[in-house]
A = this chain, B = another copy of it.
Amino acid sequence: MTDERAQVLEVARRGREAAKQIRQLTRNEKDAALFAIADALDANCAQIVHANDSDVARAREAGTAAGLIDRLTLNTERVAAIAEALREVAALPDPVGEVVRGYTLPNGLQIRQVRVPMGVVGMIYEARPNVTVDAAGLCLKSGNVALLRGSSSAAATNAALVEIMREAIAARGISADAIQLVPGMTHDSTHHLMTARGLVDVLVPRGGAALIQNVVENSTVPVIETGVGNCHVYVDKDADFAKAVQIVINSKVQRPSVCNAAETLLVHKDIADAFLPLVAAALHDCGVTLHADERATALTAPTGIPVEPVTDEDWAIEYMSLDLATGVVDSVDEAIAHIQRWSTGHTEAIVTDSQSAAAAFIAGVDSAAVMVNASTRFTDGGEFGFGAEIGISTQKLHARGPMGLAELTTTTYIVTGDGHVRG
């Protein structure tokens, strides 16, 4: 075994040991620890920003793009916001101990299915240092140990944040090993974490498609895949045009860099000649470039708005920019077939006043969320009222869609008898 593998496994082993304590903490103990961490982050803000300065300087020297540097950067306001988010997590209900179902069998055996912590949760993520604290806080609240594998570009910041969090919980009698950085900054160290089956209970990768693909393909630890979103808006022949334009604009433009933004607009042929020029003009005003199929190109031509020809790559891609693929379909079934072919299973929206079209769309697409007359941007833990979000799952196993604290738990069946044996 390499030294690095031994180090990663040692971290996981210490996490497994700490999990025995963490899973039994009461809500009061966990909330007090979250407040203590928040206070410690506020108190040590200068130290955090100082550490972050060195990461940012390194990134600048390496010629990192401005957008990435912005994600990496912490200042006093951002540290305060990170601390405040922990206090909001403390205010959320404790998922641990919730009785999911409970009943008594005919023989008198009492069965309760109760939420319990997962145990040891591994987070693999990219440059945003706020994820380091968010993930640690959500894991602690749900009774889990957090093993954090952030980006090497944020190494100094993450080290400072984790050291402050560990001291804050240790001062309250909680094992510091409940929050640990995964050592090593090579590709190998991620691999060691992904193969620590038996020591790590679940991995949650958060980041770009390449990172998630790597974890999904190489992990022997169970993974919750979070998502790339190739989201669609379908405007049906029975759509209200004003609502449809609003929903398309909001889905595409409000925050194009996130996974619940729309990437493709499909329009029913019966209304395409009237609707497409309208929405094309509105999108153009917002700076959106349309990538249109032949029919959509012909119908928008009279507006004089330039469009690009759409390719299969356009149908497949998550643009993360002010680009939108668009096409005309003959029916709701054709819209469904297009979505079944190209979607990543994140969010699809239909705009229609027709009950039957909405029902067909809901039954036909197979995604984490289906919006009826609402923007794709609503697929979000905060918007759904979960209060905090681990990520948005695009897999079908365990969790699908926005994940709150409950998704960081599993369950145990507690069966109580009085000497019951099987006949």
Chain B's closest residue to A202 (CB) is: B397
Bound complex: CA A233 to CA B362 (Å):
48
How many residues on chain A are close to B (CB under 8 Å)? 68
| Residue in A362, A377, A384, A397 with the greatest tally of chain B CB atoms within 10 Å | A397
Q: With an 8 A cutoff between CB atoms, is A396 at the interface?
A: yes
Query: Judging by beta carbons under 8 Å apart, are A411 and B421 in contact?
Result: no
Q: With an 8 A cutoff between CB atoms, is A366 at the interface?
A: yes
Q: A20-B340, A374-B109, A378-B422 are in contact. Are A411 and B400 (CB under 8 A)?
A: yes
Q: With an 8 A cutoff between CB atoms, is A391 at the interface?
A: no
Bound complex: CA A216 to CA B94 (Å):
31
Query: Judging by beta carbons under 8 Å apart, are A414 and B202 in contact?
Result: no
Task: List which A2-17 residues lie within 8 A (CB) of chain B.
Answer: none
Q: With an 8 A cutoff between CB atoms, is A63 at the interface?
A: no
Q: A377-B421, A417-B372, A419-B373 are in contact. Are A396 and B118 (CB under 8 A)?
A: yes
Q: With an 8 A cutoff between CB atoms, is A77 at the interface?
A: no
Query: Judging by beta carbons under 8 Å apart, are A422 and B377 in contact?
Result: yes
Query: Judging by beta carbons under 8 Å apart, are A109 and B378 in contact?
Result: yes
Query: Judging by beta carbons under 8 Å apart, are A243 and B418 in contact?
Result: yes
| Residue in A395, A414, A420 with the greatest tally of chain B CB atoms within 10 Å | A420
Of the candidates B105, B222, B383, which one forms a contact with A383 in the assembled complex, judged by CB atoms under 8 Å apart? B105
Of the candidates B250, B379, B413, B418, which one forms a contact with A379 in the assembled complex, judged by CB atoms under 8 Å apart? B413
Of the candidates B250, B378, B412, which one forms a contact with A368 in the assembled complex, judged by CB atoms under 8 Å apart? B412
Binding site for B on A (CB under 8 A): 20, 23-24, 103, 105, 109, 111, 113, 116, 118-119, 197, 201-202, 216-217, 220, 222-224, 240, 242-243, 246-247, 249-250, 254, 340, 362-364, 366-375, 377-379, 383-385, 395-398, 400-402, 410-422
Bound complex: CA A197 to CA B368 (Å):
18
Bound complex: CA A420 to CA B379 (Å):
12
Query: Judging by beta carbons under 8 Å apart, are B420 and A373 in contact?
Result: yes
Q: A20-B340, A116-B366, A250-B422 are in contact. Are A410 and B417 (CB under 8 A)?
A: no
Contacts of A23 in B (CB 8 A): 363, 366
Of the candidates B372, B395, B413, B422, which one forms a contact with A384 in the assembled complex, judged by CB atoms under 8 Å apart? B413
Query: Judging by beta carbons under 8 Å apart, are B119 and A396 in contact?
Result: yes
Of the candidates B363, B377, B416, B419, which one forms a contact with A242 in the assembled complex, judged by CB atoms under 8 Å apart? B419
Bound complex: CA A315 to CA B196 (Å):
23
Bound complex: CA A385 to CA B108 (Å):
12
Query: Judging by beta carbons under 8 Å apart, are B103 and A385 in contact?
Result: yes
Q: A24-B363, A396-B410 are in contact. Are A385 and B105 (CB under 8 A)?
A: yes
Query: Judging by beta carbons under 8 Å apart, are A370 and B415 in contact?
Result: yes
Bound complex: CA A385 to CA B367 (Å):
31
Bound complex: CA A402 to CA B422 (Å):
16
Query: Judging by beta carbons under 8 Å apart, are A396 and B201 in contact?
Result: yes
Contacts of A222 in B (CB 8 A): 222-223, 395-397
